[in-house]
Every structure is written in structure tokens, then in C-alpha cells.
Structure 1
Amino acid sequence: MTARIFATALATFVGLTTFAAADTALVMVEQDGCIYCSRWHADVGEIYPLTEFAETAPLRIVDLQDLPEDLTFAARVVFTPTFVLFEGGQEIARAEGYVGDELFWMQMELLSRQLTEHRAAAVSQ
């Protein structure tokens, strides 16, 4: 990943750190033999924990064939990898697939916006 993309990713998630919650997580659903999962691990896996987004939504990796019971998915996961944003064990948003790091960080920006909107809606209720 280029330094420009990494800097953009960090800047994208700066605003989220003030909303960090212990029960917020980004869940990566993967499966054995998934070449796109392997590509994500090679391209992003070591970088993700260093981002501001990881402070807000720590990464949790689960297997498609063994989904955890403490998470409520809004819909069945079909593709791997699928990145699902959870808060309080409930799915907030998701991004399916991986075709490269630039698109991944764009997807994470969209997920971060959805998380911000979700939290704003919860406060206004």
C-alpha cells in the first residue's frame, strides 16, 4: 500500500476515535481457500491494526462455516471476504469482497460514515 493511501486511510478515520466503543468491531468473514482473503491479509492485514479505524472497530476474523453466536448478521454471508461492521453484536453495515487496498479503504470510509449515522440516530432517539 502506498504511503498516500495509508495517510488517507488514517485521516478518514480520525473522527471516529472519539466514538470508540468496546462493543464495536469489524468482522472479516473468510474461508479456507479464498484467494481474495489471502490477498487482503497480504495487502492490508498488517496495516489495519495501525489505523484509527482499528481503534474504533478492532478486527475480528471468523470462518464462514463457523459464525459466532454472539453476532447477529442482518443477512446471510455469501461471499468471502465479507467485512461486517458490528455494534453491540448487531450488524450496522457490510462490504463484500476484496479487489485491492484502494477500494478496501474506500469501503471502510463508507462503513465509518454508516457507523457515524447509526450512532447519531441512536442518540436522537
Structure 2
Amino acid sequence: MVESPACVYCQAWHRRIGPGYAASAAGRAAPLMRTDIDGPWPDGVALARRPRITPTFILLDHGRELARLEGYTGDNSFYPLIGRMLAQGAR
């Protein structure tokens, strides 16, 4: 998760989704690693392009980007969208 301390959407995600994410199917399949949009970036991460929107959820496989979800549109759409992202990354 690429985030910013000033991002109200990141704060909403942490309040509404964050507490249960690790225990969810998505959280077990793709554990959350948080990174500030201004860096530093984790070693060995190769992104398709630099994130410009927070939050951005990037699915990695051995540091290589497979898929990304930009933004947080709310509680009802997050898990279906992240599920599609995980399915896309599994291809």
C-alpha cells in the first residue's frame, strides 16, 4: 500500500478496512506492506510506473509488479476490486 499521512482516503481505509484486512482472504493472499509515496522504496521492488495517487495497492511477486489498484472508493467496492486484482496477478 502506497500512502501519504495527509491522505484522507488512506485514513478512511485504515479505519474501515485495515483492522480486518490481515484476517481476510485477500489479506492472507497478499499481506499488506505500507510505503510512503515519497519513499523510501523497499529494496528490490520493480514497479511499472511510479504511483501518483494515494492509496495505491500494488500486488508484487518477488518484488515485481503484477497488478495495481489506485484509490479507495469505499467499503463496498474495495474487496471486489482487490479480488479482481488478485485474480489478474494470478494469471
What range describes the TM-score normalised by the shorter chain of this pair?
A: over 0.9
SS of aligned partner of 1:94: strand
- After TM superposition, give the deviation of residue 69 of structure 1 in Å: 2.9
**Aligned residue number for residue 46 of structure 1:** 19
Q: Does 1:70 align with 2:44?
A: yes
Distance 1:72 1:29 in 2: 14
SS of aligned partner of 1:91: strand
Q: TM-score, normalised by structure 2?
A: 0.92
Given residue 19 of structure 2, which amino acid in structure 1 is its aligned partner? E
Coordinate RMSD, CA, aligned? 1.0
Q: Which has the higher helix share?
A: 1
Q: TM-score, normalised by structure 1?
A: 0.68
Instruction: Select which of 93, 97, 111 maps to 2:71.
Output: 97
Distance 2:62 2:42 in 1: 14
SS of aligned partner of 1:60: coil
Given residue 15 of structure 2, which amino acid in structure 1 is its aligned partner? A
**Aligned residue number for residue 79 of structure 1:** 53
Q: Structure 1: where are the runs of 5+ without partners?
A: 1-27, 118-125
**Aligned residue number for residue 34 of structure 1:** 7
Distance 2:83 2:5 in 1: 27
- State the structure with more CA Rg: 1
Q: Structure 2: where are the runs of 5+ without partners?
A: none
**Aligned residue number for residue 90 of structure 2:** 116
Q: Is the 8 A contact 2:13 2:72 kept in 1?
A: yes
Count of equivalent residues: 90
Counting aligned pairs with the same residue, the percent is 37
Distance 1:107 1:35 in 2: 20
Distance 1:59 1:45 in 2: 9
